[in-house]
């Protein structure tokens, strides 16, 4: 005999509970997007400088890491919404 069982259907959290969380996620998402854009601009400037001076400072992995972080930050709101709701 089970004393406590999970509900048969999925219950939604009240709007008062998850709306502030989503607001925070949206703000963090915007800050992350701005940081990724700044990183891409900085990477582009450093890449241009590297081509002029022929010193190898950057690697291709850096660009892939920045793009991967941009994808994760861009999908953070959707992931959080799916987890919360």
Domain holding 55, by residue range, is 16-84
Q: Does residue 3 lie in a domain region?
A: no
Predicted TM-score (pTM) of the model is 0.59
Block residue for tokens 């989503």: 22
- pLDDT at 29 (0 to 100): 77
Q: Establish if 51 belongs to a structural domain.
A: yes
Query: Is residue 7 one of the residues assigned to a domain?
Result: no
Q: Is residue 47 in some structural domain?
A: yes
76: left (phi over 0), alpha (psi -120 to 50) or beta: alpha
Q: Is there a contact between 73 and 36 (Cβ–Cβ < 8 Å)?
A: yes
**pLDDT exceeds 60 at position 85:** no
Largest CA distance in the chain: 75
Q: How far is residue 76's CA from residue 78's CA, in Å, rounded to a whole number?
A: 5
Residue 1 lies in a domain: no
Task: Decide if 76 is inside a domain.
Answer: yes
How many domains does the chain divide into? 1
Cα separation, 80 vs 14, in Å, equals: 16
Q: Are the C-beta atoms of 66 and 33 separated by less than 8 Å?
A: no
Choice between 11 and 46, residue whose per-residue pLDDT is larger: 46
CA distances from 45 to 5, 30, 53, 57 (A): 58, 23, 12, 12
């Amino acid at each position: 005999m089970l004393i406590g069982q999970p509900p048969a259907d999925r219950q939604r959290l009240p709007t008062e509970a998850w709306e502030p969380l989503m607001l925070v996620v949206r703000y963090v998402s915007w800050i992350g997007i701005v940081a990724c854009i700044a990183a891409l601009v900085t990477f582009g400037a450093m890449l241009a400088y590297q081509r002029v001076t022929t010193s190898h400072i950057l690697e291709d992995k850096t660009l892939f890491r920045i793009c991967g972080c941009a994808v994760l930050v861009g999908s953070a709101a959707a992931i959080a919404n799916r987890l919360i709701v």
